[in-house]
A and B are shown apart, each in its own frame.
Chain A
Amino acid sequence: MTTHAIHAKLEPDGPVSLPIVEVSGLRKTYSGGVEAVKGIDFEIAAGEVFGLLGPNGAGKSTTIGMLSTTIAPSGGAARLAGFDVATQPIAARSVSSVVFQDAVVDRNLSGRANLVLHARLWAVAPRDAKAQIADLVDALGLGELVDRNVGSYSGGERRRLEIARALISRPRVLFLDEPTVGLDPRIRHELLDLIGDVREREETTILLTTHYLDEAQRLCDRVAIINRGEIVALDRPDALLAEIGEQVLELRVGDDASRARGALAAQGVPVDTAFAVGSTLTVPLHHCSAGDVMAALDRAGVVAAAVSTRRPTLDDVYLRLTGDSLAAA
């Protein structure tokens, strides 16, 4: 088992927040021997928005499944608000709610019936449930939809209903599994605003999985990058970006960008943090200038078809760490 013990303080020099999610050596091996999660460790502070980034198949949804007790872990431990998901699953479920990647609402029932069902299963007192439903219906713009059959909802409307449903029980931990997948850009941005509002208004700890890096940068206090079932980086988005520097140089260099990287190294250009994907070589400019790189390529006889400089993104962090593309996933 490979275990990456990577932790980070929420506020290194300020007040320390308390962990409400604790994950230790958590792993899942499906029948057939597929290792979806290979022993991961992290902690999430109360009130934090924590992002789990990675391509499809990286183990994000399996991790959410294990934390929500809808997938049985093969090993390790996880606790929600102190409750062990393996030995105290009902208590763990009572403090959490999940918005799953795929629709999980009853399509033959109205939106309100779905909300009431969730409230009852999470033991919300009837009077509180009524008030909470009215409040959430208003906050999430569901007023004209809520008494219609869910089967008639659009994807964005259904997702808003699912978020409302997950919030009825005022969960201490809210799991959002790729909440914006399949939504058009306008709805996606509205939903991101909504998730930001949820944090402000409910003081809920949020664990968000996504493969959209802009979402993580916009919403998350900290992000963990997960690849092939292992956490390969975990820190605040700005700290992860700082490892790359202020700017990167992006070069289109033909079929083998790795060869160009080797040529730069031979010319004395520091390429420890450079990474090659397909025909593109990306060189962080924190130890050298763009002019240094271009001159070295010229000396090595490598022709760049296209050259650009830009600010780094979490995509660069991910690609540097894994050599794979999130976008291609």
Chain B
Amino acid sequence: MSTTTLPREVRPALPAVRRIPSAAGALVTLAKRRASLTSRTPRQIAVPLLGPLLLALIAAPALKAATGGLRSHIDYAAFIDIGTIALLVPLSCIFAGLSVIIDREQGAQRELLAAPVPRAYLVLGNLAVALGLAALQVTVLLALAALRGAHFAITASGMAWFLAAAVLITVFTYAVAETLASRIHKQEDYIAAIPAVAILPFFFAGALFPISAMPAALATIAKFLPLTHALALMRYAFVDPRGTGLHAIWGMSNVTTEAWLSLGVVAVFAAALTAISIRVFSRSAVG
């Protein structure tokens, strides 16, 4: 057997780097792929919307009629309509995360891993579509609630608070979903995690009632959930201009400060979980 290496002295200079896609180009391509696949599975759009929609359209007015409302300046039905977002966004993101497992099971993930793009882009491309999908679903939910008779006091600053809170809580929740999808190998195991990830926080975050109505210990737990802060912000934006929900969390006198603090909490959770999800995906995907 020959043991001669290829002689090094005749090697040419190393070739120049081949073209690689720009960050924007790669992200748009990956997001378009995900959007294209999502559009072919309408259940991913409709199923997460169905439960929250029934809650907003049927349960919210019924609960208002049955309980007599919150006995405050806040319309209870509109309060629940916003609270329903705390169920809709997690369900939407969890369903979106399922596509990561499908990519892995069907093999498409390997092709993406072999592409000359940073692995983080694979997560961020999915996140972009999850954001778009959640935006569509939240818009449908609020539009139908408004048609039902809910009154939302929408101002420019309120819209800004709402969008910031909604985007950040979606980023946080999708990052949780992506992290789970990277760690959980089977679809059935992932689906089994839905109650814990998507439904449990809904009850703790004050979706159906103010957290001040809960026992003190549970209210304290609620204050550590980013979903509680996001809900309080979204209500402050559209139905609770006095910031009752924010006061219940922070107990401060300046509602704007409370809003910024809550936004900061959600932002920190969103940034941290996104970083974790990218790291977990990058590590788990390449063995």
Contacts and interface: CB of A to CB of B under 8 A. Distances in A.
Interface of A: 5-10, 12, 16-19, 30, 43, 45, 65, 68-72, 81-83, 90-91, 93-98, 100, 102-109, 113, 117-118, 120-123, 165, 172, 233-235, 239, 243
A93 B113 CA distance: 9
A128 B114 CA distance: 21
Interface string B1-24: 111111100111011011111000
Given A19-B11, A121-B116, A43 B5 contact: yes
B3 A104 contact: no
A93 B33 contact: no
Contacts of B21: 120-123
A104 B108 contact: yes
A81 B16 CA distance: 9
A102 to B, nearest CB: 5
B213 interface: no
Contact of A68 (B14, B106, B114): B114
B107 A72 contact: no
A108 B40 contact: yes
Nearest to B282: A72
A23 to B, nearest CB: 12
A86 B165 CA distance: 39
A107 B36 CA distance: 12
Contacts of A165: 111
Contacts of A122: 21, 115-116
Given A7-B4, A8-B2, A117-B33, A104 B117 contact: no
Which residue among A10, A65, A94, A107 has the maximum number of chain B CB atoms within 10 Å of its CB? A94
Pick the 10 closest A-B CB pairs, nearest first.
A82-B14, A94-B116, A94-B18, A121-B115, A104-B107, A93-B116, A123-B19, A104-B111, A120-B29, A8-B2
Given A235-B1, A243-B1, 13 more contacts: A81-B14, A90-B20, A91-B116, A94-B19, A104-B107, A105-B111, A106-B108, A118-B115, A120-B29, A121-B26, A122-B116, A123-B18, A233-B1
B3 A5 contact: yes
Contacts of B30: 121
Interface residues of B, number: 42
The dominant DSSP class at the B interface is loop
Nearest to A36: B287
21 contacts: A12-B2, A18-B12, A69-B113, A70-B285, A70-B286, A71-B286, A71-B287, A91-B20, A94-B18, A96-B114, A98-B114, A100-B107, A120-B26, A121-B21, A121-B30, A121-B117, A123-B19, A235-B1, A235-B2, A239-B1, A239-B2
B280 to A, nearest CB: 14
A98 B30 CA distance: 19
Contacts of B117: 90, 121
